[in-house]
Structure 1
């Protein structure tokens, strides 16, 4: 996933507008969340990825700053309503490659607790982060229930992918560094990795020489066909959920794409 930046001068300019917006709105203003006030802490997240972690942890009142449709966060200009939401938040979730999160908080004058989230869809990391966030939110029982459901769903998807192996054998693949979790879920034999930096000519030759059956790219950082003329089937793996903030959908969609690439979807 690409390093992201937001235009900080714009945020600082909007902070003046925030004062009027925040003073005029009540705690139940639609700008403070997704509409009607929900239970639990107010959580503002930079993207739907952090939002999905927060929802899995048991948060209900979640405001996403960068829309899911924006693949490159630097292209997004925060609105006064975004900063108003931050000003009213209890927690602001961000990723370490999103250095603008602290500036968003400063521009909005928020007293919210900033929480850095490790955005990696490897199951162990997901469950650990969901459990950690629940400890912050006071929603431990919700997180425990989600983790159990995740284990069940993941096992089902993993079994289905194994049964889809061509000829009953694990296919070989080269994978983007941020798509490796999908290869692991499918039990695919990873013979090489690339990214997050662009593939160099030397890497291209080396990866093509491994003759992979599949290439697992990162949909959010794709620069086109990774191994042209190699004959490998390319699969774009999406790390972000949609606006519904359902992280399990990311795993289901990846499984469906991999099954199709293996000729059984």
Structure 2
């Protein structure tokens, strides 16, 4: 009987922590939580929001946050100001979300440390590394990997991780006249912009014949749910849109 008790305690201590209520600011932070091994995570910003990062919390959202056990967010979301100016949060987990391998490792393990799900987080990291390896192999067979590209700064890490020839960055806000002049003098073959808040289309007037490709950060479009889904979606958009 004593032995069974010891075994039970051991199992309980090694089980991932299951919180009553875990919230994520957007579908992107939710995807990070999922990859880290946390399953029951509710997303605050609706998946079909025009720009999830700019989502403004409702009174119902604020009540949910005050009653939640954990809140996972990145820090650039507009809702952060609302949360930090009066809403009681029991436990916050700030993470980075730029989709570089280093950031993915850091953020997944940071979340997993809280919930005791390090094993699943490491499995997810290996899976995402495989996705990147396959994507690089696909792109290496095409000129797109070598051709110069202008990239919305939101996707700098992803573009660099894929090995693209990034010659200039723009955004996240609208380009100034000086920035437009500088960008128009480049030999860019294509432009990668943000689908939620595009600001790079104005460059097409000064760069005729340049390809224009929209990438996504937030899962939800065309059934995307995971970090791997987002990476693969953007690679497909790159290949088909060039």
TM-score clears 0.5? yes
- Equivalent position of 2:158 in the other structure: 182
Q: Of 44, 52, 59, which residue of structure 2 is paired with 1:65? A: 44
Is 2:128 aligned against 1:150? yes
Q: Name the count of aligned residue pairs.
A: 220
- Equivalent position of 2:240 in the other structure: 260
RMSD: 2.3
CA displacement 1:213-247 (0-9 Å, x = unmatched)? 01111222213614123121011111111276311
Is 2:120 aligned against 1:123? no
- Equivalent position of 2:197 in the other structure: 221
- The normalised TM-score by structure 1 is 0.75
Change (3 A) 1:153 1:75: closer
Structure 2 segments unaligned to the other structure (5+ residues): 1-16
- Counting only pairs closer than 5 Å after superposition, residues 64-213 of structure 1 correspond to structure 2 as 64-73=43-52, 74=54, 76-78=56-58, 80=60, 82-98=61-77, 100-101=79-80, 103-104=82-83, 109-110=88-89, 112-165=90-143, 170-213=146-189
Q: Of 47, 71, 76, which residue of structure 1 is paired with 2:26? A: 47
- Does the 8 Å CA contact 1:177/1:193 hold for their aligned counterparts? yes
- Cα distance between partner residues in 2 of 1:244 and 1:193: 26
Change (3 A) 1:228 1:175: same
List 4+ stretches of structure 1 deviating above 6 A. none
CA displacement 1:98-119 (0-9 Å, x = unmatched)? 3633744776644x21121212
- The normalised TM-score by structure 2 is 0.81
